[in-house]
Amino acid sequence: MSFLSPYGPSSFTPDDGLDLFFSPELIPDQVKKQLPGDLHIRPLASSDYHRGHLAVLSVLTVVTDPGEDAWVEQFRTMRATSGTYYPIVIVDKASDKVVGVGCVFMERKFLRGLGIVGHIEDIAVDKGQQGKKLGLRIIQVLTHISEQAGCYKTILNCSDANIPFYEKCGFIKKENEMAKYA
């Protein structure tokens, strides 16, 4: 199965020409400035299906292409739960392709004074772009969004192999993950 756009390479689309998931102002300038000049970090856009969003996610795990219509429907359903999901992408300006992805979502609680926990999910960097601190920048942005939203903690699950990466991002190992697959 191919995730390539049928339109081929195209020119870079600035934020104001896109239908974005959330306001790009939530992405701190400090992190933007630390990205290589040929890359741009922004919220997921409703047209990112054509920029290889699923191809980058497939670096992380098995991805089934639902087709553009279903992808856009999922985008809109998630965005309608306002203030809950914050998916971001890093785009290569030369190709206008997604090369990095990540998301934080807000879990609202009754405990901790009606506290909120930020959950970081689905972090992936294109194989050809790994080792350039893009993963670190994605985590910095998502943690910033989580903290700005008032989360008392930001958490994630990862493999043992990725523990050193998250430690470099300032996270510490806490407790264990349990899973029951359907």
Strand order in the sheet with 97-108: 39-43, 85-92, 97-108, 116-125, 153-155
Taking CB under 6 A as the rule, does residue 62 contact ligand ACO? no
Q: Which residue is nearest to ligand ACO (CB)?
A: 135
Are 108 and 81 in contact, with CB atoms under 8 Å apart?
Answer: no
Query: What's the CA gap between 52 and 47, in Å, rounded?
Result: 10
Taking CB under 6 A as the rule, does residue 131 contact ligand ACO? yes
Query: What's the CA gap between 98 and 91, in Å, rounded?
Result: 4
Taking CB under 6 A as the rule, does residue 78 contact ligand ACO? no
Taking CB under 6 A as the rule, does residue 17 contact ligand ACO? no
β-bridge partners, 153:
117
Taking CB under 6 A as the rule, does residue 123 contact ligand ACO? yes
Query: What's the CA gap between 106 and 128, in Å, rounded?
Result: 31
Taking CB under 6 A as the rule, does residue 122 contact ligand ACO? yes
Taking CB under 6 A as the rule, does residue 125 contact ligand ACO? yes
Q: How far is the CB of 163 from ligand ACO (least distance, A)?
A: 8
Which residues are at the interface with ligand ACO (CB under 6 A)?
A: 59-60, 120-125, 130-136, 156-158, 161-162, 164-165, 168
